[in-house]
Structures are given as C-alpha cells and as structure tokens.
Amino acid sequence: MDYLEGAEISHLPVAFPSKGGEQQGNKVHKKTFWSTSIQSLIFLQHHNTYISPSAAIFKAEEAGEETEAMLNNMRVYGTCIIILMAIVVFVGVKYVNKLALVFLACVILSIIAIYAGVIKTAFDPPDFPICLLGNRTLSKRSFDVCAKFTESNNETKTTTLWRLFCDSSLLNATCDDYFSLNNVTEIQGIPGIMSGVLADNLWSAYSEKGSIVEKKDQPSVAGSEDTKMGGLPYVFTDIMTYFTMLVGIYFPSVTGIMAGSNRSGDLKDAQKSIPTGTILAISTTSFIYLSCIVLFGACIEGVILRDKFGEAVNGNLVVGTLAWPSPWVIVIGSFFSTCGAGLQSLTGAPRLLQAIARDGIVPFIQVFGHGKANGEPTWALLLTAGICEIGILIASLDSVAPILSMFFLMCYMFVNLACAVQTLLRTPNWRPRFKYYHWTLSFLGMSLCLALMFICSWYYALIAMLIAGCIYKYIEYRGAEKEWGDGIRGLSLNAARYALLRVEDGPPHTKNWRPQLLVLLNLDSEQLVKHPRLLSFTSQLKAGKGLTIVGSVLQGIYLDKSTEAQKAEENVKALMGVEKTKGFCQIVVSPHFRDGISYLIQSAGLGGMKHNTVLMAWPQSWKQTENRFSWKNFVDTVRETTAAQQALLVAKNIDLFPTNQERFTEGNIDVWWIVHDGGMLMLLPFLLRQHKVWRKCKMRIFTVAQMDDNSIQMKKDLQMFLYHLRLNAEVEVVEMFENDISAFTYEKTLMMEQRSQMLKQMQLSKNEREREAQLIHDRNTASHSAPAVKASVAAAVPEKVQMTWTKEKFVAEKHKNKDPNVSGFKDIFNMKPNQSNVRRMHTAVKLNGVVLNKSQHAQLVLLNMPGPPKNRKGDENYMEFLEVLTEGLDRVLLVRGSGREVITIYS
C-alpha cells in the first residue's frame, strides 16, 4: 500500500485553484506552499525505500545499521533526483504537461496489474514463503533455509538459523529458550484472495516500538522473560503504531484535491474544470486506495503487511510479487508515478510562492516574485527545491509525514472556514457554480480538520495555529488590501467599537459590495407612511443582510415638532416590524423639506456603517401636487445622491409592488441595460430572486443596438459576461433604428415647453394652475389617440387655451406684469419647440415603445435612470422625459449607479 502514496492520480493536472482572500487567503496560500514543497520529497523517498532498495550505495556492515544505511541512500538519490526534476520544471511547464500523460499511463498500467494479480491469486497464488518461529516472524536477511536442521546422507546438520539462536552448531548446544520450545514453520506470505486471511487482517493490531511482529493464530510457547532479543533475527517494529499516527502517514496520499489547482491559469474554463476534475480525481483515488486496502488484506498475511521494510521476504517488493504479469510493471510504474507526482508539486509550489511575493504582503520575500521573461518562477523554484532538500536530508518519511499533514490540515481548515463564512454572510459575489454545495459541508470539513490536527499531534497543532495567527496578524498589521476583498468584515460587528473602527478604514471592495440602503419615506398628516410597499420591497431586496436606514423628513422646527417626530419614528418602526425590515430608523425635522433630505443623504449612518444607495418612490402626482416645487425636490435629490457618489433606486407605481406574503409563480424580471452603471442592474435582480416573492421569476436582460452596431456580437459578449459573473439570464439585443421624428413627438415636446413657459410667465392662482395643467394633459391625450397628427394642429391651441381666460382677466394680467422681457400669450402659443428637447423626447418615446413591446407584462422592469440636466431650467422637462420613458409599465425600478463597480467575476 505504501507505494500507492506516490501513485496518486489526483496529483496529475485535473483540478485547479482559487485566488484566496486577504489575510486569510495569504495564510492559506503560505500553508499550501509549504505543504506542496515538503510533499515533493515524499514522492522521492518512496523510490529509494520501496521501489529499488537493491540500488543502494551505502550498505550495512553490521546488524542494526540497515536503517541508517537506507536513510543515507535516500539522501544521495533524493538529492540527485530533486536536481533533475528542478531542471525539468525550470525548462518549462509544457514539458511537465507532456510527461504527465506518460506518468498517468504508467500509473494506470500498474493499477491494472495489481487488480489482475489479485484475481490470479484466486486460482494460482505466487510462491512467496515467510519463516516463523512459533508465532514470531523471522528476518531472512541473515539465513536462507527456514529450518533448525537438515537431513543429508542420513546425517543431521544444523542450519544458519540454528547458529543464530544457539551458541554453537552442535546439536547439544545451548539455545535460546523460545527457540528450543517452538517449531520453525514456513507459510505463504501471499496465500490468495480465497484463503480467508481477510478475517485475520480485519481488525487493528497496533504495537509498541521495538516489539516483534507476530502472527496471532499461530501456536506458540512462551519462553523465559529474561531472554535478550538483541541480535536475534526477528522482525521488529521501528516505531510505535496507533490510529492517529497512521492517519498522519496516510493523509499526504489523499492531498491531491488542490495539487492541480495551483495551475488554474492554464485552463480554458477553470470554473467548469475545477469541480469536475476535483470530484473525479478524488473519487478515483479514493476507490483505488480503499479497494487496494481491502484486497491486500484479503490476499497478504498480516505479518507481511506490518513488516515495514520487507525483512521477512529479504527486501522483495510485496506488491510487485502480487502483481501480474511481472514485478517490473510495479517497479517502473511506481518510479514514474512518484516522479510525476513530485514534478506536479514542484510545478505548483513555486507559482504559489510567486503569487504571494507579487502581492507585496511580506516584503522580504518579494524577490521570489521575479522570474523568467515568460513568467516562470525561477527564484521561487530554487527556494522550493531547497525546502525539498531539507526534507530529503531529514530522510525519515515517518518524521516528515506528520509535519506535512499538519500544513495541509491547516490549509484545508481555512479554506473550509472561508467558504462557510462567505455562505453564512450571503455575500452577493459569492456565487458557487456547484449546485450541491451547502455551508454545513464546509463547517463539517473545518471541524474534522481541526480535530485531526489535535488527534495526530496536539503540540504540532498548537505550533501550526501559532504560526497561522502570527501570519494573520502580520498581514493585518501591514494593512493588506489587495484584489480579494475581506470576508472578515461581516463578522467584525461582534464588538461595536472595534468593528466600527475597522469598517471605517475604507470603502468595501467590489467583491464585498452590497446595497446599503437609505429608504426615504413620505408621511401623511397623521405621521403614517404613505407607501408601505416601499418597506416590503426593501425587505425583499435586503433579506435582513447589510445595512438599512429608513428615514423621513418633517417640515418645521424641531422644538415644535419633537413630539410628532417621536410619533413618526414609532409608526415607522412598527411598520418595519410588520414588513420584517431589519434596520434603523432616522427622522429629521427641518424648516425646508429639501434640506432635510440633504441632511439624511449626507449624515445618515455612523463611521463605516453608512449607506451607499438611496431608495425612494416616484412622485406620482408631481404635476397636480399642491406644492408646485415638489418635482424640484425630487430632481435635487437625484443631484445630491450623484454628488455623494451614491446609487439611486426610484420605484415607480410602488403601490403595485408585491407584499412579502405574495408569491410570483411565473413571470420575468426584465433588465434594460442601456448604459453600464457599474453592474447595479445585474446585481439587483440576483438579490431580489433570493427572496421567496421573486424566486420563480426568470431574469431577462435587454440591450439596445443601433444601426451601426453588430447585434450578434453584442449578444455573444453579453452572454459571456454573464457566464463569468455566474448569473443565469436570457439575453436579447433589441435593434432600435433612427426614424424620422413623429408629429406626436413634436407636439408632445411643444406642449411640454408651452406648459413650462406659461407657468413661469404667469403668476396664476392655485385653481387656475390646476385647470391649465389639466387642459394641456387632455390635449396631449387626445393627440396621442388620433390616427394622424398634422403640424397645423398647433395653430388651434390658442383657441382652446383661451377658453380658460376671459377678456377682463387677460387685460388685468397684462397690466399686472410690467416686465418688458415677458412675452405675451400669443408668443407662447406660436413658439417652436427646442430641437434638443425634441430629440430627447423622440428618444424617450421610441425607447418606451420598445420597452412596452417586450416588457409590458413583466413582473418588474429595471431601467437605467438618466441624469438630470446641468441647466436647472430644464428640470421640469427632465421629469416629463422620465414620465414618457416609463409610461404604460406597471412596476418600474429606475436605477442610477454610483459610478463604481459593484459586481465582479471573482468569488
């Protein structure tokens, strides 16, 4: 079984890595580097120990020096082989890849030969005798005949074995007490699969260091306890055996789960190859290891299995004898497989060290970030080879294996911890493509790794954890913030002061970005929320994760409104409880409503716990409201969120949005991606579909192509972008060609400008303003429903409008306004629309028609929200453009990004 540790298929290039995550990721990378480096030497040691012991330079001259001679051979041959393999890796990784196929073929042939040999033992087991004295196993290195004496020419002669236990070769010599009382027997070391030896080998048989390897069911007579065992040809155990020690020795043979991951850059599609290659590799090797353990136990005597150096069979390779057709299949296969596994480790470890050095986290290892012009890590390879040489000089496999196991267990523990934490925090950019993953698996893996560390060696475990803690604190002290994000940020809230100071260090990385909402509510005269569905939508979007601040503004002086403010806060908190919105409430009292909104946007939150997104409802009655400047508050809010570099979400027709109790059984969430806004439009549907309300809705993404765009290529690029983002969505490119401006668009623009100009030039009373606005609205509606609109319709406008004006009122108004710059009403109604406004209105009408055609029945439509005009005189026109853009849609979410990326392809 030992040789299989070097013949591990999972060390071949079939599974590949990840980049890690800040301090924790660096710890994992460093542990993986040391583990992979030390692992290289284990594969070298297998060759010298078990494959070709006859090629020894140092030989034992006296009894008891065999182990030291063998270790010296390891040091010589291991140094030579490590130099050769380092040269191969230095030449180029492409040669390693080419050799990998040869190595894999040799491994497969060796495994097939083993299974064939096992089958052959059922009817023709090999002749492989071992010698027993009583129930004690004897070492055949000192004798050749398994008997006390032989008969030759009717003469009894003693054998070499007799002389080893007796003081002379005479039959009346004084012999060892146990030797005299027990018979010498010869049994087959490989009795075959049908022999029933599996029952004897099924249970454990641990032993102390220096104890004799014994066969349990063999008859034996105990000798004198005073007999000295030294110098007698028994097979002794060189170390104390117990379960955890065997786990430490066996564990490196199954660490190939991340060996190939060190070369993910060579993959065409890493996120597809990682799970497939890893699962197949581990499944294959686990099956081979476990089946070989069972088959060896069913074919080979237990004393042979416990004979570490093959003393009972004169150093012959047991598995080679078992295999069919020739032991050389195992010798050659094991040699190439150990070399191949060593090459894979020597290929991966330097790249890990180079990546760590290039991050600049640890200054004194930055020299290892340099390499050849093609990126090959020359200096890192030299350091790795040096670490391997240190392990080779140690030579003892049993001493190196527990150290290696500790590094790997620590590495896997932190990998599992990182995965579990990311899942529990529900980080939006943590989107594992593997469908059957659950955080409990990671937590179980982490617990098992931690337990095995202490079971194997509690003092090694403490040292390893101390080293890991020092690495973490050092990287934290260095203030490392690279491209990985920080998964610890979500857990740091346990200690409020410490957490706030940490979070305030800087803005979160794109990987950790999630919408931290400031929800702006409108209250009625009773201090009740006008649109409760806005909090329902907040709960569906946030799902209790991240920061939510619910704010509102009361107009007045705080000394006079403090009681009302307290009542409003209680009402809002009560509604938050009903809607299951987890967050904070903040009510601001301000003399001016717009100033209060500005205060909330600027000052809501504490330290790093600040919002990055503002959510508000669309002012539905902005045309008919009592406050003629209500739309100005909305446009100023848009401007202030942009100035604060915050995202803005505007929900139109918010009262039609679903409650938390509703469930959409079908339908679509349509995203109209007109302008790249940092990924907000991509991220929001993903977050919504995590909630039960939207879970069964499908995501569709529409993008608009103009006449000179390649729509087919646009679709392919967008599909590839979504694939790398690990988002499932249907992509459609809508072609919108430039048509002539319709009469309807021309007239609608004209009416918008006339209304705006009229309200500016005339100081109308409240009721008159409402009648005027209603008249223009009615005229626009009639024009829209007409089959054809002529340009001459504009000439009829003055007659209709003058119906709301008497002659006396007109004269009074004319004398009232003395400003010579103010035009009369005839100038207003004879004006021509601004061509810029006509173009904007044409775009809004055209785009609205396309959106209605594709998304009229969608459950939710997300649209890019254009920015307000730089010239404040066009604010009212801006509202009209947005109204036209979203006309006819039930549920609309206008999205305006903050100007930074909020989604990434990295997990």
Given a cut of 50, whether residue 402 has pLDDT beyond it is: yes
Asked if 855 and 670 count as a contact pair (C-beta separation under 8 A), the reply is yes
First to last CA, the chain: 39
Query: How much of the chain, in percent, has pLDDT values that exceed 90?
Result: 14
pLDDT top residue among 488 and 847: 847
Stretch among 78-92, 456-470, 818-832 having the lowest mean pLDDT: 818-832
Given a cut of 70, whether residue 17 has pLDDT beyond it is: no
Half-sphere exposure of 490 (CA within 13 A, CB side): 22
State the pLDDT at residue 485. Answer: 53
State the pLDDT at residue 697. Answer: 92
pLDDT top residue among 228 and 460: 460
Cβ atoms within 10 Å of 677's Cβ, excluding its own: 20
Both tokens of 532, joined, read 């409760």
Using pLDDT thresholds of 50, 70 and 90, give the confidence band for residue 4: very low
State the pLDDT at residue 902. Answer: 63
Beta strands in 134-228 (DSSP E): 136-137, 149-152, 155-158, 184-188
Half-sphere exposure of 290 (CA within 13 A, CB side): 6
Q: What is the dihedral of CA 289, 295, 301, 307, to 10 degrees?
A: -10
Report phi then psi at 204, rounded to 5.
Answer: -70, 155
- Residue 110: CB partners within 8 Å, gap ≥ 6? 7, 323, 329, 330, 332, 333, 334, 337
Q: What is the dihedral of CA 334, 336, 339, 342, to 10 degrees?
A: -70
pLDDT top residue among 551 and 411: 551
Given a cut of 60, whether residue 435 has pLDDT beyond it is: yes
pLDDT top residue among 637 and 60: 637
State the burial class of residue 165 (Cβ atoms within 10 Å of its Cβ: 0-12, 13-18, 19+): buried
pTM for the full predicted model: 0.57
Stretch among 666-680, 773-787, 871-885 having the lowest mean pLDDT: 773-787
Q: 215, 207, 201: which is closest to 239 by C-alpha? A: 207
Stretch among 11-15, 457-461, 647-651, 899-903 having the lowest mean pLDDT: 11-15
Give the residue-averaged pLDDT of 774-795: 40
Both tokens of 48, joined, read 């010298």
Given a cut of 60, whether residue 766 has pLDDT beyond it is: no
Stretch among 164-178, 594-608, 889-903 having the lowest mean pLDDT: 889-903
pLDDT tens figures, 580-611: 888 899 999 999 888 899 999 888 888 777 88
pLDDT top residue among 21 and 237: 237
Orientation angle between helical segments 458-478 and 397-425, nearest 10 degrees? 50
Half-sphere exposure of 69 (CA within 13 A, CB side): 15
Query: How much of the chain, in percent, has pLDDT values that exceed 70?
Result: 72
Using pLDDT thresholds of 50, 70 and 90, give the confidence band for residue 66: low
State the pLDDT at residue 785. Answer: 38
